[in-house]
Every structure is written in C-alpha cells, then in structure tokens.
Amino acid sequence: MKRWLIALGIVLVVVAAWALRLYWLAGEFKTLTPHFAGECTVVTGVVGAEDIVIHHGAGIAFVSAADRREALAGRSPRGGIYLYDLADSAHRLRKLTPDASPEFFPHGVGLHVGADGRATLLAVNHEGGKHTVEIYRWNGEALSHEKTIADPLMVSPNDVHPLDHERFFVTNDHANPPGWGRTIE
C-alpha cells in the first residue's frame, strides 16, 4: 500500500510540474507593461474583425470581418473585406466585397505586392462550412475576385501567407475536422 501512495505522489508531482511548465510557457506568469506612447482610436462599423494586413505603399489596411455570433446561431455571418485608409481622420471603413455571398465568412488575410506594384489579396473563407482561399486583385480602388482554391488538406484553415500572386502557405489551426478527432486533439 505504501508503494502505491509513493507512486501516486510521484505521478501527482510530475503532472503538477508539467502543468506549471505549460502555464509558464503560455506566459501566464508574465507581467505586461504598456509601452505605446501613441493614441488608440475606436473604429466602428464592423462586427467581428478577424485579421488585418497593411499595404504600406498605398497607406491602407485590409480588414477581414464576420459576425461569428450570427454564424454560431445558424444565421448569415455577413462577412466582408473592408478598406481602412490609414490617413483618414474620420476612421471609416469601406466594404470592398459588397457583392459577396451573404454566407461569405472571411478569416485570415494575406497581401502580396509584386515588384511591379500589382497587389493580390488572399483571404481564408469558411463559407457554408467549406474551407477555401479566395484570391483577389487590388486595382487601387476595388477588389476583383480572381479565383477560389479548395483542397482537402485545408481542414481548418486559419491564416494565409502569399508567396507570390498565385502561391501561398495556409495554416490549419486543427489537424482534424469537427468531431471526435478534434475534441480529442
């Protein structure tokens, strides 16, 4: 009986050490000190902003957004890609995808600006429970949809990083589709 208690004690110490290490690596014991000397401004007009990518040459940002609460309730997420002009003192957003499906559900976005100045925006899309990457061209005023890429390896895409106007990396935030595999994961 005494050996079982010692073994149990050792297991508990190992599990506690593992948990403490996990919390340490996750940054739970760090103190964050604000070090931003600038000013923050609230930008309204969009629900559920997910990702932002800045086009430094044009002085603009592309924002992907979708109402996740609506999507979880089984309704249209009313997603879109928005333009934010970094020089706009009124801090307005302009929807660049007004003709997209009501089920358009953008997530991560990536931007590639070629040596010739041509800009391509890529967006992960979870429309209708399917996972795709949408490729858009930016002409300085509007986005035009070029193509949709789908692949069974995109199980749960989160973000996209373009290598050029056609090729990209995509990250899956899960290795399994929704279900028991993801729960166990």
Q: What are 41's two structure tokens? A: 């401004």
- Whole-model pTM: value is 0.79
Does 183 have pLDDT greater than 80?
no
Contact in structure between 172 and 156 (CB atoms under 8 Å): yes
Q: How confident is the model at residue 142 (pLDDT cuts 50, 70, 90)?
A: very high
The confidence score (pLDDT) of residue 113 equals: 97
Between vectors from CA 174 to CA 170 and to CA 176, what angle results, nearest 5°? 115
- pLDDT tens across 30-74, in order? 988 888 888 888 888 888 999 999 999 999 999 999 998 988 888
Domain boundaries, the chain: 49-181
Phi-psi region of 111 (alpha: psi -120 to 50; beta: other; left: phi over 0): beta
- Does residue 1 surpass a pLDDT of 80? no
Q: Please, which pLDDT band fits residue 128 given cuts at 50, 70 and 90?
A: confident
Per-residue pLDDT, 182? 75
Mean pLDDT of the chain: 91
Q: What CATH number labels 49-181?
A: 2.120.10.30
At 94 the pLDDT is 94
Q: What number of residues does the chain have? A: 185
**Cα gap 101→104, rounded to integer Å:** 5
